C-alpha cells in the first residue's frame, strides 16, 4: 500500500470512529438523563418528554443523516460533515439541559474531536463552526434560562477561541515534529542504503556479480561455526575453466571477461536458493552446498558443467569452453582447510584425467 492509500484508509477509519463515538455519546446522554428522571423534582412525564424523548429523537435524526453521509460522501469531505453534526449534537444537549450554565462547555467537544484528524484546515473549520454555533445556541439558551448572563456568553466564546488557538499551536508543533522525524527516517534510510551498497561492493565481484574471495571465507566461517551445533551436510566444489589462459592469449582479455561472465551466469542458474556461489579468483569459482546429499550435489554440478559446454561464444567464433570440477564433503572432525584442500585435490584429478569432468575427493 502506498502513502496516499494508507492516508485514505486511516481517514476512513477515523471517520468511522468519530461516528461511533457520537452514537456512544448519545447512549451516555440517555443514561445520564434517565438516571436524573428518578431524582428530579419536576413532573416526571414532562421531564421525560423534554429532557429525554424529544432530544433523543433529534439526536438520532442527526446521527442517521450522518450515517447516510458516511456511506455516500467522499472520505475527504466527511470530517467537515462530522464537525457540523457534532455541533448540532452539542446544541441539542445544551438546549435540553438549560438549567445548568456549565453545559455550554459541551460546544468544546466537537472542536477537540477535530484534532484527531491532525489536519490544520479541519481544526480551523471546527473552530469557526463552534464559534458560529455558540451565537444562536446562547440566544436560545438565554431565552430558556433568564438567569444566564452576558458574561457567560463571553466566557464560552473565550474558551472556544482559546481552545482553537491551543489546538492550532499543538497542530503546528506536531507537524514540525513529524517533519523532523520524516527527515531523520529519510537520512537513516539513505545511510542504510549507502551501507548496503558499500557492503555489496566489498563482497561482490564486479565482473561476474558473484560473491568474491573475501565473502566466500566470511560465509564459510559463519556456516561452519553454526554447523558445530546443527550438524548439517555441507559440501564445497571448485570449478575451473579449462585452458582459460589460452582463451586470453588467443582472443584477448575482453573475450576472457565475457567467458567469465557467461560461466558465472550458468553456475548461478544451476544452483538452488540455499547454495552459495562465488568467484574465488581468476578463472576459478567456488560453490557451497547446504543440506544436500553428495548425489544431489553431483547432479547439480554435472548439469552446470554440461550447460557450460553447450554455450557458444561469439568472441570465440562460436566455440565453447569447458570446466573441470572438484567436490568435497565436510566432516565434523576435519576443519575448513581440509575441506578446501580436498576439493582442490579433486579438481586437480579432474584436470589431470582429461578435464571437462567432475571428480569427488572421497574417490581417491
- Alpha-carbon distance 282 to 284, whole Å? 6
**In this structure, what are the phi and psi dihedrals at residue 315, rounded to the nearest 5 degrees?**
-65, -15
Q: What average pLDDT does range 38-47 have in this prediction?
A: 80
pLDDT of 122 above 90: no
- Alpha-carbon distance 158 to 137, whole Å? 15
What was the pLDDT predicted at 1? 40
99: Cβ contacts below 8 Å, ≥ 6 apart:
145
CATH code of residue 293: 3.30.70.270
Shared domain for 165 and 273, answered yes or no, is no
For residue 149, what is the DSSP state? -
What's the predicted TM-score (pTM) here?
Answer: 0.53
Domain-terminating residue out of 183, 199, 223:
183
Residue 306's pLDDT band, with cuts at 50, 70 and 90, is very high
Residue 5's pLDDT band, with cuts at 50, 70 and 90, is very low
- Alpha-carbon distance 170 to 127, whole Å? 14
CB 236 within 8 A of CB 286: yes
Which residue is listed with cell 568474491?
A: 212
Residue 205 in domain: no
Cell output for 353: 584425467
Residue 206 in domain: no
Q: What average pLDDT does range 121-146 have in this prediction?
A: 81
Q: What average pLDDT does range 94-119 have in this prediction?
A: 74
Q: Give the strand order in the sheet containing 323-329.
A: 276-281, 284-290, 234-241, 323-329, 358-360
Cα→Cα distances 357→13, 298, 345, 361, Å: 65, 11, 14, 13
CB 106 within 8 A of CB 90: yes
Q: What percent of the chain has pLDDT over 90?
A: 43
Residue 190 in domain: no
Shared domain for 231 and 310, answered yes or no, is yes
Residue 70 in domain: yes
Residue 6's pLDDT band, with cuts at 50, 70 and 90, is very low
What was the pLDDT predicted at 299? 95
What was the pLDDT predicted at 157? 75
Residue 358 in domain: yes
What was the pLDDT predicted at 103? 63
Query: Residue 87 sits in which domain range?
Result: 3-183
Cell output for 53: 424523548
Residue 194 in domain: no
Q: What is the H or E stretch that residue 259 is in? A: helix 253-269
What was the pLDDT predicted at 100? 61
pLDDT of 66 above 80: yes
Q: What percent of the chain has pLDDT over 70?
A: 92
What was the pLDDT predicted at 161? 80
Shared domain for 149 and 80, answered yes or no, is yes
Residue 47's pLDDT band, with cuts at 50, 70 and 90, is confident
Cβ-count burial of 341 within 10 angstroms (0-12 exposed, 13-18 middle, 19+ buried)? middle
Shared domain for 220 and 178, answered yes or no, is no
- Alpha-carbon distance 264 to 279, whole Å? 8
Shared domain for 168 and 222, answered yes or no, is no
What was the pLDDT predicted at 298? 95
Cell output for 137: 445556541
Residue 204 in domain: no
What was the pLDDT predicted at 286? 97
Mean pLDDT (the chain, rounded): 86
Shared domain for 117 and 231, answered yes or no, is no
- β-strand partners of 120: none
- β-strand partners of 285: 239, 279
Work out how many domains the chain is built from and give that number: 2
Residue 176 in domain: yes
pLDDT, one tens digit per residue, over 192-235 is: 877 777 776 788 998 999 999 999 999 998 888 887 766 788 99
Shared domain for 124 and 12, answered yes or no, is yes
Shared domain for 79 and 161, answered yes or no, is yes
Cα→Cα distances 161→57, 143, 154, Å: 31, 24, 10
Shared domain for 218 and 176, answered yes or no, is no
Shared domain for 95 and 141, answered yes or no, is yes
Shared domain for 124 and 162, answered yes or no, is yes
Shared domain for 132 and 234, answered yes or no, is no
Domain-terminating residue out of 168, 183, 198:
183
Minimum mean pLDDT among 2-6, 41-45, 325-329: which range? 2-6
Minimum mean pLDDT among 97-101, 128-132, 144-148: which range? 97-101
Amino acid at each position: 500500500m502506498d502513502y496516499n492509500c494508507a492516508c485514505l484508509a486511516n481517514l476512513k477509519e477515523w471517520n468511522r470512529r468519530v461516528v461511533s463515538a457520537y452514537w456512544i455519546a448519545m447512549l451516555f446522554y440517555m443514561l445520564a438523563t434517565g438516571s436524573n428522571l428518578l431524582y428530579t423534582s419536576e413532573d416526571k412525564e414532562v421531564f421525560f418528554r423534554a429532557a429525554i424523548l424529544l432530544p433523543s429523537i433529534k439526536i438520532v435524526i442527526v446521527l442517521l443523516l450522518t450515517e447516510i453521509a458516511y456511506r455516500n460522501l467522499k472520505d475527504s469531505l466527511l470530517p467537515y460533515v462530522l464537525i457540523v453534526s457534532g455541533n448540532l449534537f452539542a446544541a441539542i444537549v445544551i438546549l435540553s439541559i438549560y438549567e445548568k450554565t456549565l453545559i455550554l462547555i459541551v460546544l468544546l467537544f466537537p472542536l477537540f474531536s477535530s484534532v484527531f484528524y491532525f489536519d490544520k484546515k479541519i481544526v480551523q473549520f471546527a473552530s469557526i463552526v463552534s464559534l458560529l454555533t455558540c451565537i444562536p445556541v446562547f440566544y436560545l439558551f438565554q431565552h430558556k434560562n433568564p438567569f444566564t448572563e452576558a458574561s457567560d456568553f463571553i466566557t464560552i466564546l473565550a474558551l472556544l477561541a482559546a481552545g482553537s488557538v491551543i489546538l492550532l499551536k499543538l497542530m503546528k508543533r506536531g507537524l514540525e515534529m513529524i517533519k523532523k522525524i520524516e527527515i531523520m527516517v529519510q537520512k537513516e534510510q539513505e545511510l542504510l542504503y549507502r551501507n548496503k551498497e558499500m557492503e555489496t561492493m566489498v563482497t561482490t565481484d564486479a565482473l561476474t556479480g558473484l560473491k568474491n574471495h573475501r565473502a566466500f571465507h566470511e560465509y564459510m566461517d559463519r556456516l561452519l561455526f553454526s554447523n558445530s551445533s546443527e550438524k548439517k551436510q555441507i559440501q564445497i566444489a571448485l570449478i575451473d575453466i579449462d585452458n582459460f589462459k589460452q582463451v586470453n592469449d588467443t582472443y584477448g582479455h575482453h573475450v576472457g571477461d565475457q567467458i567469465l561472465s557467461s560461466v558465472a551466469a550458468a553456475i548461478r542458474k544451476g544452483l538452488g536458493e540455499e547454495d552459495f556461489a562465488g568467484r574465488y579468483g581468476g578463472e576459478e569459482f567456488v560453490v557451497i552446498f547446504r543440506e544436500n546429499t553428495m548425489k544431489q550435489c553431483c547432479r547439480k554440478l554435472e548439469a552446470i558443467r554440461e550447460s557450460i559446454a553447450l554455450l557458444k561464444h561469439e568472441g570465440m567464433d562460436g566455440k565453447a569452453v569447458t570446466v573441470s570440477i572438484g567436490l568435497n564433503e565436510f566432516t565434523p572432525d576435519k576443519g575448513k582447510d581440509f575441506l578446501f584442500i580436498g576439493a582442490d585435490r579433486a579438481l586437480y584429478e579432474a584436470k589431470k584425467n582429461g578435464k571437462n569432468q567432475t571428480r569427488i575427493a572421497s574417490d581417491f
